[in-house]
């Protein structure tokens, strides 16, 4: 769903109706010419060892300074009170040491616009690399919003701690509220906190667009200063996405470049209107559009959760539009995949998976079972995925099976086998009704065709078939059709219609 305008190498991609949207989570990096390969080989021998030695030495120095600056501080004190006195002087020394490390990497950094030090929150985009630490350094060691796991990174974790970041615990269901509250507290505090630089996209992309901004930076309703990042290099060795080269390859290719360029542009401070102060999502959307216009790239309504979904879809070999993936999409957004609510329900009441234990639930009852408020938009969308008619009720057993398959399965074949175990009892055998229900989840096939499959598998006319009967039938009779549908889904991610 995009139209490319312009000529030559520079194109602007704009969303349109009826076409495929770009994929912001894929990055390809290969040395394609003999010159590039030869240059990389020579610099690997002549330059790489020297740069590694200098960078390692500088990082150790910065780590020692951070250890000194943090000495005597508890984690609680670090979170509740800004650094002061001699610790600020040590932080400044650490900043210049890290900046020297960036120069040793070969980066030439250009800064455009003026940073307003009175604004507490800076919003930076696109977020595309671990080298995005550069603007943090150039903003006088600004704080960031960082995953708690980053504290465990050797040397780097201590440096991150020294900036007094707002930490996110992604496995904690209350982490989102805690993070938002801490951002609000710092934005409205009268104390001398460092600026907080936030990457509202929440995950790395290839800079082809701006994905959905999380509203955390905009909940305080305070002015923000947008910060634009560019890496105008002929060979893109910095982009780190879900599908693409790993950390070691990116570091190697960056270190063997004669020079890498980074541009930081501070846009004018954005003062929210009254309606934006009351609606953080609207505020986030408008700031994103402003930044996208400055970058001359499109916006794309994709989130970190969708990224998780795409990775899961590829692993399981499912199409992004399959009912199982639609179920998983809304489970992720509701936090159900993390809490494993469905597994607990089945553990406490195994009869829920048996036909005689089927519960027909309306929307309110469904939300109550999952312990989520009815006001959550995703719970209604989840209800609609399972709902097959206009009765206003769903088969809760069908939902539980769908949820367990996609959360516990490791491949499409594994999920198929698991479905026979869940629905077929100890004998792992399905009747015609359950067989058609299960196959419908995996294959976009008419019910009459599935009934034919069942009759051909059930050659003894016992009214039930096992997974191994189906597996044998599929490999012999279905042939290419089964194999084709079992392939890992296409590498390109197609954005589904938001109305679905």
The answer on 281 and 180 residing in a single domain is yes
Check whether 339 has a pLDDT greater than 80: no
The answer on 312 and 297 residing in a single domain is no
Average pLDDT over all residues of the chain: 83
**pLDDT for 13:** 35
**Residue labelled with tokens 């599935």:** 450
Asked which of 189-193, 403-407, 423-427 is least confident by mean pLDDT, the reply is 423-427
**pLDDT for 20:** 43
Q: Which of 267, 301, 335 is the last residue of a domain?
A: 301
Check whether 337 has a pLDDT greater than 50: yes
Check whether 461 has a pLDDT greater than 50: yes
Pair of tokens at residue 232: 């105008």
The answer on 240 and 133 residing in a single domain is yes
Asked which of 200-214, 319-333, 370-384 is least confident by mean pLDDT, the reply is 319-333
CA pseudo-torsion sign 76, 80, 83, 85: negative
pLDDT tens digits, one per residue of 14-41: 333 333 446 788 888 989 899 999 999 9
Please state whether beta strands 260-266 and 429-430 pair in parallel, antiparallel, or not at all (unpaired).
unpaired
Give me the mean pLDDT over the 46-65 stretch: 96
In a domain, 498, yes or no: no
The answer on 88 and 169 residing in a single domain is yes
**pLDDT for 173:** 57
The answer on 247 and 140 residing in a single domain is yes
Give me the mean pLDDT over the 146-168 stretch: 84
The answer on 241 and 356 residing in a single domain is no
How far, in Å, CA of 456 to CA of 196, rounded? 64
**pLDDT for 443:** 77
**pLDDT for 404:** 86
Check whether 481 has a pLDDT greater than 80: no
Q: Which of 251, 267, 301 is the last residue of a domain?
A: 301
The answer on 441 and 382 residing in a single domain is yes
Number of domains in the chain: 2
The model's pTM is: 0.69
484 torsion bin: left (phi>0), alpha (psi -120 to 50), beta (else)? alpha
In SS3 terms, 199-237 reads as CCCCCCCCCCCEECCCHHHHCCCCCEEEEEEECCCCCCC
Q: Which of 44-58, 157-171, 339-353, 375-389 has the highest mean pLDDT?
A: 44-58
**Residue labelled with tokens 């590829």:** 314
**Residue labelled with tokens 């040395």:** 31
Give me the mean pLDDT over the 175-181 stretch: 80
**pLDDT for 480:** 45
Pair of tokens at residue 15: 């969303």
The answer on 400 and 310 residing in a single domain is yes
The answer on 111 and 47 residing in a single domain is yes
Pair 400, 342: CB distance under 8 Å: yes
| φ/ψ of residue 230, rounded to 5 | -135, 145
pLDDT tens digits, one per residue of 284-306: 999 999 999 999 999 988 776 67
Nearest Cα to Cα of residue 312 among 445, 437, 403:
403
Q: How far apart are the first and last CA of the chain?
A: 16
**pLDDT for 16:** 36
Percentage of the chain with pLDDT > 90?
37
Nearest Cα to Cα of residue 132 among 217, 19, 267, 250:
250
The answer on 258 and 334 residing in a single domain is no
Q: Which of 225-229, 464-468, 481-485 has the highest mean pLDDT?
A: 225-229
Check whether 499 has a pLDDT greater than 60: no
CA distances from 389 to 57, 299, 392 (A): 66, 35, 7
Percentage of the chain with pLDDT > 70?
87
* Domain of residue 275, residue span: 20-301
Q: Which of 237, 267, 301 is the last residue of a domain?
A: 301
**pLDDT for 394:** 85
Reported as half-sphere exposure (CB side, CA atoms, 13 A), residue 391 has a value of 10
More confident: 352 or 389 = 352
The answer on 465 and 390 residing in a single domain is yes
Task: Categorize the per-residue pLDDT at 277 as very low, low, confident or very high, splitting at 50, 70 and 90.
Answer: very high
Check whether 86 has a pLDDT greater than 70: yes
């Amino acid at each position: 769903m995009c139209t490319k305008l312009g000529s030559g190498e520079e194109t602007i991609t704009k969303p349109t109706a009826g076409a495929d949207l770009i994929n912001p989570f894929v990055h390809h990096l290969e040395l394609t010419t003999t010159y590039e390969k030869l240059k990389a080989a020579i610099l690997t021998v002549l330059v790489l060892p020297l740069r590694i030695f200098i960078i390692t030495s500088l990082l150790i120095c910065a780590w020692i300074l951070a250890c000194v600056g943090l000495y005597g501080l508890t984690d609680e004190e670090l979170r509740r009170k800004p650094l002061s006195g001699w610790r600020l002087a040590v932080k400044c020394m650490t900043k210049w040491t890290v900046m020297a490390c960036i120069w040793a990497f070969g980066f030439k950094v250009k800064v455009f616009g003026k940073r307003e030090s009175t604004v507490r929150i800076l919003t930076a985009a696109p977020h595309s690399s671990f080298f995005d630490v550069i603007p943090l350094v150039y903003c006088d060691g600004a704080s960031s919003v960082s995953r708690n796991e980053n504290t465990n990174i050797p040397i780097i974790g201590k440096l991150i701690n020294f900036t007094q970041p707002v930490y996110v615990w992604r496995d904690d269901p209350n982490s989102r509220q805690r993070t938002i509250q801490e951002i609000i507290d710092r934005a409205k505090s009268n104390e001398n906190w460092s600026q907080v630089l936030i990457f509202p996209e929440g995950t790395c992309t290839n800079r082809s667009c701006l994905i959905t901004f999380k509203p955390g930076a905009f909940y305080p309703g305070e002015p923000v200063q947008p910060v634009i990042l560019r890496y105008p290099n002929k060979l893109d060795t910095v982009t780190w996405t879900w599908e693409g080269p790993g950390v070691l390859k990116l570091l190697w290719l960056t270190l063997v470049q004669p020079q890498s360029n980074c541009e930081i542009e501070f846009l004018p401070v954005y003062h929210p209107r009254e309606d934006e102060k009351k609606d953080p999502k609207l505020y986030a959307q408008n700031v994103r559009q402003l930044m996208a216009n400055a970058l001359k790239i499109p916006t794309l309504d994709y989130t970190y959760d969708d990224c998780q979904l795409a990775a899961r879809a590829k692993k399981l070999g499912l199409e992004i539009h399959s009912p199982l993936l639609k179920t998983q999409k809304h489970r992720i957004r509701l936090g159900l995949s993390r809490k494993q609510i469905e597994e607990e329900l089945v553990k406490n009441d195994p009869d829920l998976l048996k036909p005689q234990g089927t519960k027909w639930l309306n929307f309110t009852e469904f939300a109550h079972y999952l312990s989520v408020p009815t006001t959550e938009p995703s719970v209604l969308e989840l209800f609609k995925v399972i709902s097959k008619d206009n009765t206003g009720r769903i088969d809760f057993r069908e939902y539980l099976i769908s949820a367990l398959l996609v959360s516990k399965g490791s491949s499409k074949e594994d999920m198929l086998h698991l479905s026979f175990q869940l629905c077929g009892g100890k004998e792992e055998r399905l009747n015609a009704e359950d067989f058609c229900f299960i196959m419908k989840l995996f294959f976009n096939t008419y019910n009459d065709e599935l009934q034919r499959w069942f009759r051909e598998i059930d050659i003894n006319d016992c009214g039930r078939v096992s997974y191994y009967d189906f597996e044998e039938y599929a490999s012999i009779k279905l042939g290419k059709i089964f194999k084709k549908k079992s392939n890992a889904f296409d590498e390109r991610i197609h954005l589904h219609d938001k109305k679905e």
